Each structure stands twice: as C-alpha cells, then as structure tokens.
Amino acid sequence: MFRYILYRLAAMIPVLLGVSLLVFSLFWVVPGDVVDIMTGDNSWGDPSAAEAVRKSLNLDKPFYVQYGLWLGKVLRGDFGVSFISGQNVLSEILQRIPVNFQMIAMAMLFIVLIGIPVGILSAYRQFSWFDHMVRFATTLGYSIPNFWAATIVVLLGSVYFKWLPVLSYVPFSEDPLGNIKSMLLPGFVLGLSALAFVTRLARSSSLDTLRQDWT
C-alpha cells in the first residue's frame, strides 16, 4: 500500500510540471503582462519606470528563463508576492486553507445529510411526484456549472435570504454561529454536483435492494 501511494505521488510530478508549463505558456501568449495591469496603460507617465519594474520581475527575459526561475523559486517554497495585495503568496494560501477545509466539510455534511436520505426515500416512493422531483433536481444539479450556480445563489441570497451572509466571512473563533451561517451557501454550492451524484447513487442502490427476492 505504501509503495502504491509513493507511485501515485511520483506519477503526479510530470502532470504538475505539464500543467504548470501549460498555464505559464498561456500567460506568455496573452498580450501584455502584469506590469501593464499595474501601470494602467502607462499611467505613471514614464515608460522607463515600467521597464524597470518589468526587469525586476524578470519579464524581460526569454520564456524558458522565466519558467526556470519561477520553477526554481517554487521548489524552494518561494511563491512570490501578490501584485494585488502585496503580500507573500504562500502566506495568503496558508491563511485560506482552513476556510477551504471548512467549505469541504460543509459540502460533505450536505451530501451525507441530504443526498443519502433523499435518495433512499425517492427509491421507496418510486414513480411518485417526489421521485420525479428528485430525479429532475439531480439532473439539474449535474447540468448546472458551479460558477453559474454560485452566481444565482449570490443574487437570490441577496434578495430573498438576507438572514444568510452571502459575500462575507466570519472566523469561527470570533462568532461560531455567524461562521456557520456564512458557510452554508458556499458549502451547498461546492457540494451541489456531488450531492446530485450521491442522491442518484443512493436511489439506484436502494432500488436494487428493494427488488431483490428476500423470501
């Protein structure tokens, strides 16, 4: 088992390198660079200042040199500095990891508490109006992209569910109840596709069990 895990981890290395090279290439072929965004169409009034910033960021070097420098820093744990916030990228990622884990836990909670019972009840009441609604809802859950569902939830939540904070986050240490309320909608959207899959799976498994001859 340990050797299998090591093999899978080793197999991820070329995949990660390929993905990083592809993403890096996309940024290279797109017109402009981060300096153009920072300066805002030469809003500094001094083209030499933009060139100095570009040189400090190694953007004046060839593609393969840029990629090699970036990859070397990443392997040393240096993810650079965000040009938006000015903070270290790695520290910002570490700050957001607990929030992401909480969102995953909330999504899993929705999947287990809603998907399995609803799937079993749908199988028990096969061909009823409830079963038809469940099958329609799960098909819809499969079909809707998460980013579109998140947009709809934000719009509807802002109008009809004002008691739920839509675009805010409260740390659990400051306000446990407010933290849970702020994570309900993001957790539901994150687990929407998996919720539809688990509901369908629970329904089909329950139907197979109900159709067996137990006599």
- Give pLDDT, residue 125: 93
Sequence ranges of the domains in the chain: 2-78, 92-210
Tens-digit pLDDT profile for residues 74-127:
888 888 888 777 788 888 888 889 899 999 999 999 999 999 999 999 999 999
Element (H, E) at 142: helix 129-143
Query: What is the model's pLDDT at position 88?
Result: 87
> What does the DSSP 8-state code read for residue 88?
B
> What is the three-class DSSP state of 62?
coil
Tell me the one-letter amino acid at 14.
P
Ranges of residues in the chain whose predicted pLDDT is under 50: none
What pLDDT is recorded for position 157? 77
Predicted model pTM: 0.72
Amino acid identity of 117?
P
